[in-house]
Amino acid sequence: MTAEIVRTIPGAQKRTNDPEGMRKKVLDVAEASFQEKGYHGSSLGDLMAAAGVSGGALHHHFPTKKALGLAVIDERVAEAVAKTWIGPVLAAASARDGVRLVFEAAADELEKQGFVRGCPLNNLAHELSLADPDFRAALARIFRAWREAIAEKVRADQQNGGEKGIDPERFAALVIATYSGAMSMAKTAQEATVLRQCLAALPVSGQPAA
Amino acid sequence: MTAEIVRTIPGAQKRTNDPEGMRKKVLDVAEASFQEKGYHGSSLGDLMAAAGVSGGALHHHFPTKKALGLAVIDERVAEAVAKTWIGPVLAAASARDGVRLVFEAAADELEKQGFVRGCPLNNLAHELSLADPDFRAALARIFRAWREAIAEKVRADQQNGGEKGIDPERFAALVIATYSGAMSMAKTAQEATVLRQCLAALPVSGQPAA
DNA sequence: GACAAAACAGGACAACCGGTCTGTTTATAA
DNA sequence: TTATAAACAGACCGGTTGTCCTGTTTTGTC
């Protein structure tokens, strides 16, 4: 054992001018393109050009287009739902408050951008759920985690004496369905007002009346 | 003016063994395929084979694939929404009753089939809204007609002394968004229970509580 | 029957897509 | 230094797609 001490961690290679790896760049471009043009509407050639990546590099990190799609779903879409929905709801004073905050934040964001791309999860769910069982399973997992997080928040509120008289599972289903459908309508109409209308009609405001 | 009286209407020709026209056959096949495999996922070759139509015939009735897509949206999807939603709601005793009936009918149908294809309008809306302005406009028209029909039913109920305390526009937005989102979740989970959960959480039952 | 236009049939084509293949560079370990 | 394998580069190929083009048949009009 006259060899020197290893000074680099095996498996953690870094490129000269690419400290974070080319894989991340591809995922960034793919995530954006899948949302705007869909999975089938995004060709690998387009992604390669947009990311500045050669065909060999892309094939090295993602052997097939399906592998890239699954990576986007598992790593990016799931993270987006966790960041924009699950986190804020769990951090809010109550489930109802959290839902209202997220709806308002989403509407504000859409109006600020002036362009509605839709919900990443729903966009891919519609296109890929019936096309491939693996895609469907990956998307269903995200929906389930989303629902369970909201339902669990309601149960926690109820143990603290709040949110009486509502069914956790039903509330979670209603909230997610309404949000998804409202984003679908907003995307088609290219207008965010329907999101605020749905929020006002939901039983999360002062007067739950529709 | 010695000519005889015309005895046939110009432009209303009929084929020998095709009394209803080949155009209808193509629309039937395209409508079904677009819903299951999407617009981009349905190749003209597949449609030609499924409909038993030659390329020349298809090109004669629909010069481009986009023309076929617009025809499916304008003639079939709009009609489907009118038949399964607008009609039953207008015929019901009240808007709330109508919504509940349609939700239950949809859930029954899904459970009977054992397979969830999703809402035709939403499926195409997600795939085509951002892809083409003409598609988006056609789909937005259907959404708008859907919303206005439900809102108008609520207003009619209110003039008859019912459905007090609810905003017609908000109610319509909530109902359609919830239905669309619930169908999206049902499609991804391949299960119809979420539809019944959303119905129970909607303010159309005896106890509107979520 | 003669003529014109619509309604089809079916092949051909250029463009594109996803995947594969063979090199070349770079980093790690001995 | 040298061996080794990962990280890329870039050309290539078979298959598919949407569209177009040229014939042939049917339908309606004079």
The CA distance from A9 to the nearest CA of chain B, in Å, is 41
Any chain B CB within 8 A of the CB of A37? Answer: yes
- Cβ neighbours of A193 (radius 10 Å): 16
Tokens 């789909």 sit on residue: B139
Closest by CA to B182, choosing from A203, A74, A177, A42, is A177
pLDDT digits (tens, 9 = 90+) for B127-155: 999 999 999 999 999 999 999 999 999 99
Right CATH number for A76-201 from 3.40.50.1000, 1.10.1070.11, 3.40.50.620, 1.10.357.10?
Answer: 1.10.357.10
Q: Which of A40, A178, A190 sits opposite B181 (nearest CB)?
A: A178
pLDDT at B111 over 60: yes
Q: Can you give the pLDDT at residue B205?
A: 73
- Domains of chain B, by residue range, sit at 17-63, 72-201
Give yes or no for a contact between A47 and A58, defined as CB atoms under 8 angstroms apart: yes
Q: Can you give the pLDDT at residue B161?
A: 87
Q: Can you give the pLDDT at residue B101?
A: 98
Q: Can you give the pLDDT at residue B162?
A: 80
Higher per-residue pLDDT: B22 or A142: A142
Confidence of residue B3 (pLDDT cuts 50, 70, 90): very low
Return the amino acid letter for A12. A
Architecture of domain B17-63: Orthogonal Bundle (1.10)
Q: Can you give the pLDDT at residue A206?
A: 64
pLDDT at B1 over 60: no
Closest by CA to A35, choosing from B129, B142, B174, is B129
* A residues 149-208 closer than 8 Å to B (CB): 165-167, 169-171, 173-174, 176-182, 184-185, 187-190, 194, 197-198, 200-203, 208
* CATH T-level fold of B72-201: Tetracycline Repressor; domain 2 (1.10.357)
Encoded tokens for A16: 């000269």
Residues with Cβ < 8 Å from B19, sequence gap 6 or more? Answer: none
Rounded distance, CA B30 to CA B48, Å? Answer: 9
Note down pLDDT in tens along chain A; length 210 residues: 323 222 333 333 333 345 468 899 999 999 999 999 999 999 999 999 999 999 999 999 999 999 999 999 999 999 999 999 999 999 999 999 999 999 999 999 999 999 999 999 999 999 999 999 999 999 999 999 999 999 999 999 999 988 888 999 999 999 999 999 999 999 999 999 999 999 999 998 765 545
* Helix ranges restricted to H, A52-132: 55-61, 65-71, 78-81, 87-91, 95-113, 120-128
Across chain B, how many H-helices and E-strands are there? 11, 0
Rounded distance, CA B13 to CA B90, Å? Answer: 36
Among B11-20, B115-124, B165-174, the range scoring the smallest mean pLDDT is B11-20
Q: Can you give the pLDDT at residue A20?
A: 61
Q: Can you give the pLDDT at residue B210?
A: 55
Q: What sign results for the dihedral spanned by CA atoms A131, A135, A140, A143? A: negative
Q: Can you give the pLDDT at residue A163?
A: 81
The CATH number of the structural domain formed by A20-63 is 1.10.10.60
Q: Looking at beta carbons, which residues of chain A come within 8 Å of B185? A: 143, 173, 176-177, 180
The CA distance from A11 to the nearest CA of chain B, in Å, is 37
